[in-house]
Amino acid sequence: MDPAVRDYVRQRARFCCEYCRLPERHAPVLPFHLEHIIPRQHGGTDDPNNLALSCHSCNLHKGPNLSGRASHTLRLVRLFHPRRHKWSYHFHWDGPILVGRTAIGRVTVQVLAMNDPDMVRIRESLIAEGIFPP
């Protein structure tokens, strides 16, 4: 990926994962990814408007997914789209736990495993240090 595009995407994201909001500088060991919001295999491009800064955990769990099934209704729901959706409309924090406010938020939390115990522990530590949420 072009270094200028990578810098642009990182700055636009304010150096935080655009899904779970983990600050890049506090990521454990693994570097953040430029993630294709709409994967190439589904017609996505390398245009910066289709790229999001993503921590390793969110990117690994999202993979090529565009949607997921709501756990209670089994209805197919699209995932959060960082360029089209407002983060605070779909999510809120309950301490270190990320809570989906909408079907999109709830399915995204579920599919991306955003409350994985390891990620919750990292956020607990950052909260104790007074540096999270960003």
Backbone angles phi, psi at 36, to 5 degrees: -80, 115
Structure tokens at 79: 């995932």
Pair 37, 52: CB distance under 8 Å: yes
pLDDT on residue 9? 97
Convert 71-132 into a string of H (helix), E (strand) and C (coil): CCCCCEEECCCCCCCCHHHHEEEECCEEEECCHHHHHHHHHCCCCCHHHHHHHHHHHHCCCC
Q: How many residues does the chain have?
A: 134
Pair 47, 2: CB distance under 8 Å: no
How do strand 51-54 and strand 67-69 relate by DSSP bridges?
unpaired
The three-state secondary structure class of 36 is strand
Banded model confidence at residue 65, pLDDT cuts 50, 70, 90: very high
Confidence (pTM): 0.94
Tens digits of residue pLDDT in 86-115: 999 999 999 999 999 999 999 999 999 999
Banded model confidence at residue 71, pLDDT cuts 50, 70, 90: confident
Tens digits of residue pLDDT in 1-51: 789 999 999 999 999 999 999 999 987 678 899 999 999 999 999 999 999
Question: Distance between CA 39 and CA 41 in Å, rounded?
Answer: 5
pLDDT on residue 28? 66
DSSP label of 76 = E
